[in-house]
Chain A
Amino acid sequence: QSALTQPRSMSGSPGQSVTISCTGIRSDVGKYNYVSWYQQHPGKVPRLMIYDVSSGVTKRPSGVPERFSASKSDNTASLTISGLQADDEADYYCCSYAGAYTWVFGGGTRLTVL
């Protein structure tokens, strides 16, 4: 149950797009499309932004803007945020189902909007 690998920090200017990577192994990200992404503002509760990266269709809970999209290739999942806004500045965590009814999170990426 080793944590998924994410860049510690990333940044972008308002209006730009940023892509956050999340690298796992063949038995978690590589095997399952059950990758989810969470946004956490400082001192706040995590918020589900994306769930399930199968079939090339981004699945978002209601209320999450279409600017947030996700994909997966082999052992790496990615979250893309287009049209960056100031409120997108937060920590982002990926999470993958890892089989045997266990889950593993990434270490988190601090996104700064310049």
Chain B
Amino acid sequence: QVQLVESGGGVVQPGRSLRLSCAVSGFNFNNYGMQWVRQGPGKGLEWVAVIWYDGSKKFYADSVKGRFTISRDNSKNMVYLEMNSLRAEDTAVYYCARDYPNNAMDVWGQGTTVTVSS
């Protein structure tokens, strides 16, 4: 079945880095763009980044631009989110999601928790 599994979350100090991974299975990964969405504790959803199906284009929310990098490895069915210069406000559950046609997100992973704290 279609499945997205995130990993790599944890507790990290402000200013440090962390890399999140999302393992994809159950569909032709090469045909889909992928998104990252986050949700702060007790807060709503916030779009973070998107990567084209072939990795050729990447776009970011203003709140993470210049600090986060999205990438993918189509040979491994993996999506990544490299997070640098982390701030307390980056604390959230990070979800990867499949980019559905018509600009929606139709399949979500279970999320991985990132806590930025000293």
Contact with B along A32-59 (1 / 0, CB 8 A): 1010101010000111100110000001
Which B residues are CB-close (under 8 A) to A95? 45, 47, 104-105
- The reply to whether B59 and A102 contact each other, CB–CB distance below 8 Å, is yes
CA distance A32 to B57 in the complex (A): 21
Which B residues are CB-close (under 8 A) to A47? 108
CA distance A12 to B31 in the complex (A): 41
Contact with A along B89-118 (1 / 0, CB 8 A): 000000100001011111011110000000
**Residue in B37, B57, B109, B111 whose beta carbon sits within 8 Å of that of A101 in the complex:** B57
Which A residues are CB-close (under 8 A) to B63? 1
- The reply to whether A61 and B106 contact each other, CB–CB distance below 8 Å, is yes
CA distance A95 to B37 in the complex (A): 11
**Residue in A34, A52, A108 whose beta carbon sits within 8 Å of that of B45 in the complex:** A108
- The reply to whether A108 and B106 contact each other, CB–CB distance below 8 Å, is no
A105 at the interface (CB under 8 A from B): yes
Which B residues are CB-close (under 8 A) to A1? 61-63
Which A residues are CB-close (under 8 A) to B62? 1
Which B residues are CB-close (under 8 A) to A38? 45, 105
CA distance A100 to B47 in the complex (A): 13
CA distance A95 to B45 in the complex (A): 9
B34 at the interface (CB under 8 A from A): no
- The reply to whether A48 and B95 contact each other, CB–CB distance below 8 Å, is no
CA distance A29 to B95 in the complex (A): 23
Q: What are 30 of the A-B contact pairs (CB < 8 Å)?
A: A3-B44, A32-B103, A36-B102, A36-B103, A36-B105, A40-B45, A45-B95, A45-B109, A45-B110, A45-B111, A46-B108, A48-B100, A48-B105, A51-B102, A51-B106, A52-B103, A61-B106, A93-B44, A93-B45, A95-B47, A95-B104, A101-B57, A101-B59, A103-B47, A103-B50, A104-B47, A105-B44, A106-B44, A107-B44, A108-B45
Q: A47-B108, A48-B106 are in contact. List 4 more A-B contacts (CB 8 A).
A: A3-B46, A45-B95, A105-B45, A107-B44
Closest 4 CB pairs of A and B: A51-B104, A34-B103, A36-B104, A101-B59
